[in-house]
């Protein structure tokens, strides 16, 4: 009887262990399946993102080609009319309006978020905001910058710099860190002005990465929002005297 009782106890123990192992095995399989599914979802999203980025780049290239074609047509018309003075005036207007690629000496400022969170420091102090960008732009303008671009986007009076989560929108296009601000002007004057910027000093204090370099030649592209100019000046009216 004792052996029968012990055998019964062992049987129950083995049954419990078997059930526990089966449950554990199923849980492990489910976890692996979920992990594999998440990885597949991530891969799928990355492929979609890559495809969308390529489509965006292709559309931008098409826009640039059409803008070049339009420019060629305007020049051909002016030359056909033998109005070279008008052609010269047109080039100057584009230059003043930021509708021409330009280059010259200046500085380049590279900004990147802090590499790691510091204890007892709010996360918002360790990342770059649109207001930080605006303060730096104002310093450059006060120092006489003649042309400015952020990540290759020409900055004009109608250009916006708006926070959109961990990114900013510039001329309607989204960019993430690092942000590169290029400015054409006197390199020494621009460098000193930006280096003395109080807000930039605070950013460096919180380990936000800041790199300022002088250059003999900075290339600034033309304003990219020319296809949307009508909406940008919709509130303006010509004053007839």
Superfamily of domain 103-223: Protein of unknown function DUF881 (3.30.70.1880)
Three-state secondary-structure class, residue 218: strand
Please give the backbone phi and psi of residue 240, each rounded to the nearest 5 degrees, phi first.
-95, 120
Q: List Cα–Cα distances, 36 to 26, 30, 43, 46, 152, in angstroms.
A: 15, 10, 10, 15, 39
Distance CA 140, CA 186 (A): 10
Question: What is the chain's pLDDT, residue by residue, as a tens digit (241 residues)?
Answer: 444 555 556 555 656 666 666 666 666 666 666 655 555 566 777 777 788 778 877 877 777 777 677 777 777 766 666 666 777 777 788 888 888 899 999 999 999 998 876 677 777 778 899 899 999 999 999 999 999 999 999 998 888 777 766 788 888 888 888 999 999 999 999 999 999 999 999 999 888 999 999 999 999 999 887 666 666 677 778 788 7
pTM: predicted TM-score of the whole model, two decimal places: 0.68
Which helix (H) or strand (E) segment is 110 a member of? strand 102-112
Q: Which residues in the chain are classed under CATH 3.30.70.1880?
A: 103-223
Strands 173-176 and 161-164: unpaired
Q: Quick one: tokens of 118?
A: 């510091």
pLDDT of residue 8: 55
Going by C-beta distance under 8 Å and a sequence separation of 6 or more, which residues neighbour residue 194? Answer: 107, 109, 136, 139, 140, 143, 200, 212
In this structure, what DSSP letter does residue 211 have?
E
pLDDT of residue 2: 46
């Amino acid at each position: 009887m004792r052996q029968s009782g012990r055998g019964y106890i062992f049987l129950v123990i083995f049954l419990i262990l078997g059930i526990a192992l089966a449950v554990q095995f199923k849980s492990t399989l489910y976890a692996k399946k979920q992990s594999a599914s998440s990885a597949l979802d991530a891969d799928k999203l990355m492929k979609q993102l890559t495809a969308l980025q390529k489509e965006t780049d292709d559309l931008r290239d098409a826009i640039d080609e059409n803008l070049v074609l339009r420019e060629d047509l305007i020049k051909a018309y002016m030359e056909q009319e033998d109005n070279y003075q008008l052609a010269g005036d047109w080039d100057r207007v584009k230059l003043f309006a930021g509708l021409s690629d330009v280059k010259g000496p200046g500085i380049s400022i590279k900004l990147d978020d802090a590499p790691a969170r510091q204890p007892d420091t709010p996360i918002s102090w360790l990342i770059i905001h649109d207001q930080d960008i605006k303060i730096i732009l104002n310093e450059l303008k006060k120092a006489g910058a003649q042309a400015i671009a952020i990540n290759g986007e020409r900055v004009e009076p109608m250009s916006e710099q708006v926070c959109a989560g961990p990114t900013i929108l510039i001329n309607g296009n989204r960019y993430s860190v690092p942000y590169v601000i290029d400015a054409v002007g006197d390199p020494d004057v621009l460098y000193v002005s930006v280096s003395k910027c109080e807000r930039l000093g605070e950013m460096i204090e919180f380990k936000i990465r800041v790199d300022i370099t002088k250059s003999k030649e900075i290339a600034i592209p033309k304003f990219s929002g020319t296809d949307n100019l009508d909406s940008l000046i919709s509130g303006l009216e010509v004053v007839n005297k």
